[in-house]
A and B are shown apart, each in its own frame.
Chain A
Amino acid sequence: MSDLTKLTLTAAMDGLEKGDYSSVELTQAFVDAIAASNASLNAYVVETPEKALEMAAASDKRRADGKAGRLDGAPLGVKDLYCTKGVRTTACSNILGEFTPTYESTVTQNLWDEGAVMLGKLNMDEFAMGSSNETSRFGPPSNPWRRAGSNATLTAGGSSGGSATAVAADICLAATASDTGGSIRQPAAFTGTVGIKPTYGRASRYGMVAFASSLDQAGPIAKTVSDAALLTEVMCSHDDKDSTSLNVPTRDWMSEVGKGVKGMKIGVPKEYRIDGMPDAIEKLWQQGIEWLKQMGAEIVDVSLPHTKYALPAYYIVAPAEASSNLARYDGMRYGARQDGDGLIGTYEGTRADGFGAEVQRRLMIGTYVLSSGYYDAYYLRAQKVRTRILQDFEAVFADVDALLTPTCPSAAFAYGEKTEDPVQMYLNDIFTVTANLAGLPGISVPAGIDNDGLPLGLQVIGKALDEASCFRVAGAIENAAGFVAKPEKWW
């Protein structure tokens, strides 16, 4: 039998359906692969091989009974942001200690309801705050990709660095991730994988450890656009337990992937061309434009004039919401606690000890921008910027079907390269935060490699609820790019 771990999700589903292998066989292959490689990759922070094999056996039985679901028997990884019943969930923060939920997030429940198998919990930046996964309490995962001729370990991006690493290294078929400012798309771009952040409200936030409520959105990281479409269909649902969940049906997005772009109008926003962007990225963007033209799309130059305010606005809104969302981690009911002098001492000890430096920085920023006397100047103004950014998008979407941009201003960087200067790190999100601020769907698809042999991604941003166009355009780029490069195995 060939290496089952190299399969795409959709191919694996076909194989299971045809009976080429059982879910137990498939799952065992991943369990073995994880056991062999996780020490090097550090993608999983919790491994659940026994649970996985149990779920796989149950899946094989369901399939035998003709009751297989859409993901039946598919071994997946779960970002540690999702609460999983009976399996430790810490959002990779010390403050959650050994917290083990008694409940399941809606998104993961949707996966299990369709028969998926859980391999374990995936590494991430602490509370999803970071762009390199370096803020994880468990240390960062290692990007399977390395620069040609270099042994330096690169970041797999963040915050869903573990998800991207696991997918790129074939130690899961696909993974759940989450995206508050680019946390799905940037790691996907850094690892040659596909990641989509659906429209805000498509997937339930119930049971997802909150970072910034108005920006957080669940989505998958997968090997192909079709795989991502399949997972998105299953992950998204209307949920009464999340008031911001949209009551709209999910679509048959898989069928969109191969439809092509003929007759579509694709906008290219000039504000996404920034100083200091590597030539390779600029060239790849041009290449993407050419591909789409050749496939019959019309390319339109558009302007999103408020783009330059997006990153500062994001770094006000997200920390503000986080400062409130993370107030519940006070050592009183669950998680880690550091007893101190009286109540205040216990609060201070618990939170100083439990939160890492980046989380603390953002809590301080968030607390500051919401303070009386500063609220109007920061938070309120940032919300106004947010409205402007949405209006920019609405204006161009009156004319175009989707937008094409680079996913990130750089390829994967080495650890420590940007940790000294938080602003340099934040700048990595410059092309992705806009979709979060406007609540729009955005997908990153691998489209080429740079001079160092590292993968680069292109981003397609769609209208609200128009994931269909994202999948169509991304599918076309995937097809045109024929991106088949895989990292050379060093781990």
Chain B
Amino acid sequence: MSDRPTYTLKGDTGDWEVVLGLEVHAQVSSNAKLFSGASTQFGAEPNQNVSLVDAAMPGMLPVINEFCVEQAVKTGLGLNAQINKYSRFDRKNYFYPDLPQGYQISQFEHPIVGEGEIEVDVEPAHGDPAYAFTVRIERLHLEQDAGKSIHDMDPTATYVDLNRSGVALMEIVSKPDIRTPLEAAAYVKKLKSIVVALGTCDGDMEKGNLRADVNVSICKAGAYEKFRETGDFSHLGTRCEIKNMNSFRFIQAAIEYEARRQIEIVEGGGEVDQETRLYDPDKGETRSMRSKEDAHDYRYFPDPDLLPLEIDDAFIEGIKVNLPELPDQKRARFESDYGLSRYDAGVLTADAESADFYETVAKGRDPKLAANWVTQELFGYLNKAELDLSTTPVSAVQLGGLIDLISSDVISGKIAKDVFQRMIDGEGDPADIVEKHGLKQVTDTGAIEAIVDEVIASNPDQAAAVKEKPKTIGWFVGQVMKASGGKANPQAVNKILRDKLGL
């Protein structure tokens, strides 16, 4: 692992650094909402998944969904975080048509999960060395989602869909430990891999089930270190919060834009206003949503309809013993059991599907060969074709069969790539493809000798030259392979050539 690089942005007054802290909202995987029995199923007709509680009818009361509590604790354990045996729900009061109660039930003062930390791997794009860094988690709390306001169905009216109203969210707040746009994306990826592995959130960013608010500020070299020593935020610049981003690409682009914007303001003699901003992916810029002066006074206070949430050690232990293998643990196991590099192990354990796929391919086979075929050939193809493992044309069993053919010298590695292409094209099992197209490696020495003889005979000049320069034997190997249609066993070709040429 390499050292963590410093990310700097050039300004007129010198170099600037960025400081980032993220608030990630992850929708809890649960059949029912946080405080009502209504369904959370995605894609229902508008206002179908709405109970009397969700619609805030008079006299309706929230009742905690214990499964959501379990999911939050599970996530906390996955973040190596303190689980708070006492937590409490507070009301965050504001008026909006998609907030039927007129308040969101959240956890303000006493979250269910306290401080934790996770290690995040970063793989820079331009061939710079990979590195890892630690993000300290400040807290995780449970809260209700709001409904959805739809402004574009009617020129004068806003429509409200309350299906999401009351759905459980986990808000995961990081400390300002993130220093580059790429790190921010990597952090969200890591969180996603953890919650998906735990089954506490499906991580579906397109549906908005995982989304991030990013706090961005800028500072000069050295200031951040002073902040870390003292905990004094005045060493850092004024932060702006960019709300609700649901793609890694947008997160990075928004941070880059926002950092530049702040540098321009400060270098122009201005001051950054503490405000909430929105990223517009079409224009590639952030714009002000509301300033600090317009900020709501949320009038937080403990929700008197709910008792404090008290959990005991037995509850936590019960969850702990049933925790699935987490991405970090899995990666460590892949490194030690399969002898993979940290990088390959990381790629293969980024999500459970990849890891399961790999383990099926690697079972009883050369683990490194299996890793190469999965990460380079298959993932390379899937990326290019914009597919993923759920839509892969090549199954783990088929890819395993291909590796078996290589390992048992039925085909060469080179031929294997042709076979792989045919598998992608839907020709079926590798053994059948090899059979059908006659791609079996020729190991019959007699047949190879005949080809070698012919090649030497047709190229007397080269045959003479190779005796002076034995390294050029490669040319002959190539000619023989070509003449065999690529099917000759390369080792056998090499040996026979050397014999015949007297090398």
Name the distance in Å between B99's Cβ and chain A's nearest Cβ: 9
B307: nearest chain-A partner, CB-CB: A243
Task: Identify the stretch in B188-196, B219-227, B297-305, B353-361 within 8 Å (CB) of chain A at 4 or more residues.
Answer: B297-305
CA distance A371 to B93 in the complex (A): 10
Q: Is A206's beta carbon under 8 Å from chain B?
A: yes
Q: Which residues of B contact A91 (CB under 8 A)?
A: 58
Name the distance in Å between A432's Cβ and chain B's nearest Cβ: 19
Question: Do residues A372 and B299 form an inter-chain contact, with CB atoms below 8 A?
Answer: yes
CA distance A205 to B304 in the complex (A): 12
A370: nearest chain-B partner, CB-CB: B299
Q: Is A320's beta carbon under 8 Å from chain B?
A: yes
Q: What 0/1 readout, one digit per residue, does chain B (99-116) give for beta carbons within 8 Å of chain A?
A: 011110000000000000
CA distance A321 to B95 in the complex (A): 16
Q: Is B501's beta carbon under 8 Å from chain A?
A: no
Question: Do residues B307 and A244 form an inter-chain contact, with CB atoms below 8 A?
Answer: yes
* Interface of chain A: mostly helix, strand, loop or mixed: loop
CA distance A488 to B49 in the complex (A): 56
Question: Do residues B305 and A243 form an inter-chain contact, with CB atoms below 8 A?
Answer: yes
Question: Do residues A207 and B59 form an inter-chain contact, with CB atoms below 8 A?
Answer: yes
Question: Do residues B102 and A205 form an inter-chain contact, with CB atoms below 8 A?
Answer: no
Question: Do residues A327 and B93 form an inter-chain contact, with CB atoms below 8 A?
Answer: yes
CA distance A326 to B305 in the complex (A): 14
Q: Is A268's beta carbon under 8 Å from chain B?
A: no
Question: Do residues B62 and A243 form an inter-chain contact, with CB atoms below 8 A?
Answer: yes
Question: Do residues A328 and B100 form an inter-chain contact, with CB atoms below 8 A?
Answer: yes
Q: Is A50's beta carbon under 8 Å from chain B?
A: no
Name the distance in Å between B117's Cβ and chain A's nearest Cβ: 31
CA distance A379 to B301 in the complex (A): 9
Which of A101, A209, A330, A371 contacts B102 (CB under 8 A)?
A330
Task: Identify the stretch in A157-165, A210-218, A295-303, A400-408 within 8 Å (CB) of chain B at 4 or more residues.
Answer: A210-218
Which of A101, A213, A242, A330 contacts B58 (CB under 8 A)?
A101
Which of A212, A241, A327 contacts B103 (CB under 8 A)?
A327
Question: Do residues B103 and A206 form an inter-chain contact, with CB atoms below 8 A?
Answer: no
Name the distance in Å between B107's Cβ and chain A's nearest Cβ: 15
Question: Do residues A208 and B100 form an inter-chain contact, with CB atoms below 8 A?
Answer: no
Q: Is A338's beta carbon under 8 Å from chain B?
A: no
Q: Is B199's beta carbon under 8 Å from chain A?
A: no
CA distance A321 to B306 in the complex (A): 13
Which of A212, A242, A343, A379 contacts B97 (CB under 8 A)?
A343
Q: Is A324's beta carbon under 8 Å from chain B?
A: yes
Q: Is B265's beta carbon under 8 Å from chain A?
A: no
Which of B95, B297, B305 contacts A371 (CB under 8 A)?
B297
Given contacts A243-B63, A328-B102, contact A83 B58 (CB under 8 A): yes
Q: Which residues of B contact A357 (CB under 8 A)?
A: none
Q: Is A143's beta carbon under 8 Å from chain B?
A: no
Question: Do residues A324 and B299 form an inter-chain contact, with CB atoms below 8 A?
Answer: yes
Which of A103, A209, A240, A321 contacts B304 (CB under 8 A)?
A321
Q: Is B389's beta carbon under 8 Å from chain A?
A: no
CA distance A375 to B306 in the complex (A): 20
Q: What 0/1 readout, one digit per residue, does chain A (189-229) give for beta carbons within 8 Å of chain B?
A: 00000000000000001111110111000000000000000
Question: Do residues B61 and A328 form an inter-chain contact, with CB atoms below 8 A?
Answer: no
CA distance A379 to B56 in the complex (A): 24
Name the distance in Å between A237's Cβ and chain B's nearest Cβ: 15
Question: Which interface residue of A208, A371, A372 has the most chain B CB atoms within 10 A?
Answer: A372
Q: Is A410's beta carbon under 8 Å from chain B?
A: no
Given contacts A240-B63, A324-B301, contact A99 B58 (CB under 8 A): yes
* Interface of chain B: mostly helix, strand, loop or mixed: loop
Q: What 0/1 readout, one digit per residue, does chain A (99-115) give for beta carbons within 8 Å of chain B?
A: 10111010000000000
Q: Is B52's beta carbon under 8 Å from chain A?
A: yes
Q: Is A332's beta carbon under 8 Å from chain B?
A: yes
CA distance A334 to B61 in the complex (A): 17
Q: Is B253's beta carbon under 8 Å from chain A?
A: no
Q: Is A413's beta carbon under 8 Å from chain B?
A: no
Q: What 0/1 readout, one digit per residue, does chain A (77-89) give for beta carbons within 8 Å of chain B?
A: 0000011000001
Question: Do residues B91 and A324 form an inter-chain contact, with CB atoms below 8 A?
Answer: yes
Q: Is A367's beta carbon under 8 Å from chain B?
A: yes
Q: Which residues of B contact A105 (CB under 8 A)?
A: 59
Tell me the chain B residues, 43-86 only, with Cβ under 8 Å from chain A: 52, 55-64
Tell me the chain A residues, 239-259 only, with Cβ under 8 Å from chain B: 240-244
Tell me the chain A residues, 354-413 only, with Cβ under 8 Å from chain B: 367, 370-372, 375, 379
Question: Do residues B301 and A209 form an inter-chain contact, with CB atoms below 8 A?
Answer: no
CA distance A205 to B60 in the complex (A): 8
Question: Which interface residue of A320, A327, A372 has the most chain B CB atoms within 10 A?
Answer: A327
Given contacts A332-B160, A370-B93, contact A209 B59 (CB under 8 A): yes
Question: Do residues B58 and A96 form an inter-chain contact, with CB atoms below 8 A?
Answer: yes
Q: Is A333's beta carbon under 8 Å from chain B?
A: yes
Question: Do residues A330 and B97 form an inter-chain contact, with CB atoms below 8 A?
Answer: yes
Q: What 0/1 readout, one digit per residue, does chain A (15-47) give for beta carbons within 8 Å of chain B?
A: 000000000000000000000000000000000
Q: Is A347's beta carbon under 8 Å from chain B?
A: yes
Name the distance in Å between A92's Cβ and chain B's nearest Cβ: 12
CA distance A371 to B296 in the complex (A): 10
Q: Which residues of B contact A213 (CB under 8 A)?
A: 304-305
Question: Which interface residue of B61, B100, B307 has the most chain A CB atoms within 10 A?
Answer: B61
Name the distance in Å between B124's Cβ and chain A's nearest Cβ: 43
CA distance A167 to B390 in the complex (A): 70
Q: Which residues of B contact A333 (CB under 8 A)?
A: 55-57, 100
A317: nearest chain-B partner, CB-CB: B304
A371: nearest chain-B partner, CB-CB: B297
Q: Which residues of B contact A334 (CB under 8 A)?
A: 57
Q: Which residues of A contact B52 (CB under 8 A)?
A: 102-103
Q: Which residues of A contact B100 (CB under 8 A)?
A: 328, 332-333
Q: Which residues of A contact B93 (CB under 8 A)?
A: 323-324, 327, 370
Question: Do residues B299 and A206 form an inter-chain contact, with CB atoms below 8 A?
Answer: no
B298: nearest chain-A partner, CB-CB: A372
Binding site for A on B (CB under 8 A): 52, 55-64, 91, 93, 95, 97, 100-103, 158, 160, 297, 299-301, 304-307
Please name the 8 residue pairs, one residue from A and one from B, whose CB atoms are nearest each other, closest first.
A327-B102, A213-B304, A370-B299, A214-B304, A328-B56, A207-B59, A209-B58, A83-B59
Further 14 A-B residue pairs, CB within 8 A, beyond A91-B58, A243-B64, A328-B102 = A102-B52, A209-B58, A210-B59, A210-B305, A212-B304, A213-B305, A243-B305, A243-B307, A244-B305, A324-B91, A334-B57, A343-B97, A343-B158, A370-B300
Would you list 12 pairs from A and B whose C-beta atoms are within 8 A, ordered by A residue? A101-B58, A244-B304, A320-B301, A321-B304, A324-B102, A326-B102, A327-B95, A327-B103, A328-B58, A330-B95, A370-B299, A370-B300
